[in-house]
């Protein structure tokens, strides 16, 4: 069995175990706030606290997983690390701020993020970033980025990042599905035993729509499964050298699901009958189809998963990924819509 087949089997087992745990546990009370940091002392002696959320931890983990996967995939076709690093930094530098800016423009809210919208922004930018980098790398032929492999990698990494990142939504109670009691009887019957219900008044489903402990369509869980399944199919195509097919298939599946799944959601997405997120997804599909029609380049070497894993398994790379995780955690994990009041005292019988 090839290395990439073993890695794929391990990924399937890992995600099966992770999803089985997460879908049952994360909507429960106690899985929204990871830690609270005292900030300012109040006149009554208690402290105002900053909540650090599981949303930030899962979002940071999803992005780091996507970047690590990109390193392995591009490394597998012999792209040097400095080229991968330059591409990753440029894309993240554009997409991370876009997650907040696009949410503000579309939803009119300053304290939220849109990972899907930012990812589509990255998809639109990716070919142009590659073209600009290749123009700069012309003196070094070994550093030229294969456009088709890069786009396939971006699409696959996005699919896994989106699937993992939906666990962040499960922990915070955002991106929630429609209540079963307001859904079509067929939908309600389908999910009567497999729904999501968020416990806790600080979950977004509760404070935005009054849906605390109400059975909802499990849209986050469904999106996670569809996205990871699309990513696995993309991996299968990638390691068989079908880069353009991997790119187009992964984009079409994830974005068609985004368009259709919004019909099963109840959260606020801008107040339009057809949301801007759906428009972005449809535009992304058309853009991907256009690019796939013109993609002709292939990597100079066939993909070798072991080559990519060796590139990832380097102390410098691991430290960079850890630093990225911390930066993203503090960017997305500092709750702006919840706060805490802390009381600290001495346990006298332990002195």
Residue-wise pLDDT tens digits, 20-71: 999 999 999 999 999 999 999 998 889 999 999 999 999 999 999 999 999 9
pLDDT, average across residues 93-109? 78
Residue-wise DSSP of 52-85: EEHHHHHHHHHHHHHHHHHHHHHHHTT--HHHHH
Domain residue limits, the chain: 3-345
Is the pLDDT assigned to residue 223 strictly greater than 80? yes
138-187 pLDDT tens trace? 556 566 788 899 999 999 999 999 999 999 999 999 989 999 998 889 99
* pLDDT value for 137: 60
Q: What per-residue confidence (pLDDT) applies to 271? A: 58
**Angle, alpha carbons 350-52-342 (nearest 5°):** 40
* pLDDT the model gives residue 273: 74
pLDDT band at 111 (very low <50, low <70, confident <90, very high): low
Choice among 132-141, 192-201, 219-228, 235-244 with the minimum mean pLDDT: 132-141
The yes-or-no verdict on residue 109 having pLDDT over 80 is no
pLDDT in tens, 261-274: 988 888 765 556 77
Task: Quote the pTM value.
Answer: 0.91
Give me the pLDDT at residue 94, please.
Answer: 85
pLDDT at residue 269, as a whole number: 59
Average pLDDT of the chain to the nearest whole number: 89
CB of 226 closer than 8 Å to CB of 243: no
Residues 125 and 91 sit within 8 Å (Cβ to Cβ): yes
Percent of all residues in the chain with a pLDDT value above 90, rounded to a whole number: 60
Q: Report yes or no: 215 and 195 within 8 Å, Cβ to Cβ.
A: yes
Stretch 86-113: mean pLDDT, rounded?
Answer: 79
> What kind and span of H or E run contains 33?
strand 33-41
Cα pseudo-dihedral 69, 330, 265, 200, rounded to 10: 130
Q: How far is CA 219 from CA 26, 201, 267, in A?
A: 14, 20, 11
Give the pLDDT of residue 351. Answer: 85
Residue 279, token pair as written in the block: 């428009």
Please state the separation of Cα 309 from the chain's center in Å.
Answer: 21
How high is the pLDDT of residue 238?
95
């Amino acid at each position: 069995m090839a290395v990439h087949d073993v890695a794929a089997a391990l990924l399937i087992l890992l995600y099966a175990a992770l999803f089985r745990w997460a879908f049952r546990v994360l909507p429960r009370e106690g899985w929204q706030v990871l830690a609270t940091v005292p900030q300012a002392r109040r006149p009554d002696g208690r402290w105002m606290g900053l909540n650090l959320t599981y949303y930030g931890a899962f979002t940071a983990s999803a992005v780091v997983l996507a970047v690590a996967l990109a390193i392995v995939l591009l490394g597998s076709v012999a792209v040097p690390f400095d080229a991968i690093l330059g591409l990753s930094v440029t894309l993240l530098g554009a997409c991370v701020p876009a997650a907040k800016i696009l949410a503000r423009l579309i939803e009119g809210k300053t304290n939220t993020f849109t990972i899907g919208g930012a990812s589509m922004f990255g998809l639109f930018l990716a070919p142009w970033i590659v073209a600009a980098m290749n123009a700069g790398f012309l003196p070094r032929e070994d550093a030229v980025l294969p456009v088709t492999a890069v786009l396939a990698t971006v699409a696959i990494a996005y699919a896994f990042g989106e699937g993992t990142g939906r666990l962040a939504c499960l922990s915070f109670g955002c991106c929630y599905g429609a209540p079963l009691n307001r859904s079509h009887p067929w939908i309600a019957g389908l999910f009567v035993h497999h729904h999501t219900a968020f416990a806790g008044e600080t979950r977004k489903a509760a404070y935005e729509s009054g849906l605390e402990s109400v059975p909802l369509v499990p849209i986050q869980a469904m999106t996670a499964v569809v996205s990871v399944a699309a990513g696995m199919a993309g991996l299968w195509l990638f390691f068989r050298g079908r880069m353009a097919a991997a790119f187009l298939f992964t984009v079409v599946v994830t974005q068609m699901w985004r368009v259709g799944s919004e019909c099963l959601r109840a959260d606020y997405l801008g107040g339009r009958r057809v949301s801007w997120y759906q428009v972005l997804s449809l535009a992304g599909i058309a853009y991907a189809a256009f690019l796939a029609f013109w993609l002709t380049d292939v990597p100079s070497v066939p993909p070798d998963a072991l080559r990519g894993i060796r590139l990832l398994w380097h102390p410098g790379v691991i430290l960079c990924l850890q630093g990225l995780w911390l930066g993203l955690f503090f960017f997305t994990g500092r709750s702006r819509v919840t706060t805490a009041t802390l009381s600290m005292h001495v346990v006298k019988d332990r002195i």
